[in-house]
Amino acid sequence: MTLEEKIAEKLDRFITKIEKIVYRMNLPRLLAIVRKYAEIGDISWIYYVKLIEENVKMYGIKTNISSKVSKIKEIGYKTTVLLELKEARKCAEIGDAFGMELAIEKVMKNAEEYAKKFGEDLSNLYNQIEKIKKIGYRRAIPLELEAARRHAELGDVLDMEISIERAQKYAEKLGVDIFDQVEEIKKIGYRKAIPLKLEAARKSAELGDALRMEECLNFAQKYAEKCGEKIPDQVVAEIYEIYKKQLQSFDD
């Protein structure tokens, strides 16, 4: 080893020693800051606790911080769970089932971690979650049906069916029957969509786009069958006639 390398090695050891002393001196303050994060439910406490534990190990600091870290984790998990539970309840009250489910997912993740570390009984929390779910799904059903009806009135079958699927999902969770309402909305949507698809087929025929024309005609026929309607043969024949004329114009 050269003289320069020996000097560099000694310097590195000296710097590490200084870092260790400084870190040990600041450790109580760092733990206090992280505890504040935990108390307000700022989930960054999880990252900082992990970082502190890693640094204590890296510097070989003998100070026992396990009790303080354990308390921070207890406070952090409990506060985070309560905040997410509050968010879930807030979403449920306005019928935002998606937001509610997302918040509940976070609640469960943190609660199970908390229970695993501190042996906490979660039965009361589970009961609260079930009550919140019932509120959320009950309020979400009419909102989704209303959205489905709006889409139906516009002949927007895709979005109508998405909203209906959500409403049915929530109704199933509650054991509620919404069959008649759904069927009524579907009939409106399919009936309104038929002329839109026929018009789209006509425009495609005028452009000589056989693939798109056939697709629109198939959708129109499908919707007609679903709502008990019948598309006059003459209407379909006229669209095919337009397409034939368009092909002839290309040949000319």
Q: What is the pLDDT of residue 34?
A: 86
Tens of pLDDT along 125-146? 999 999 999 999 999 999 999 9
Average model confidence (pLDDT) across the chain? 88
pLDDT confidence bin for 19, thresholds 50/70/90: low
Residues 215-252: pLDDT tens digits? 999 999 999 999 999 999 999 999 999 999 888 876 65
Q: Over the stretch 51-102, which tens digit does the pLDDT of each residue have?
A: 888 878 877 777 778 888 888 888 888 888 889 999 999 999 999 999 999 9
- Rounded distance between C-alpha atoms, residue 56 and residue 30, angstroms: 12
Query: Distance from first CA to last CA of the chain, Å, rounded?
Result: 91
Which helix (H) or strand (E) segment is 186 a member of? helix 179-206
Q: How far apart are CA 44 and CA 32, in angstroms?
A: 14
pLDDT at 14: 38
Lowest mean pLDDT segment, chosen from 31-40, 60-69, 184-193, 232-241: 60-69
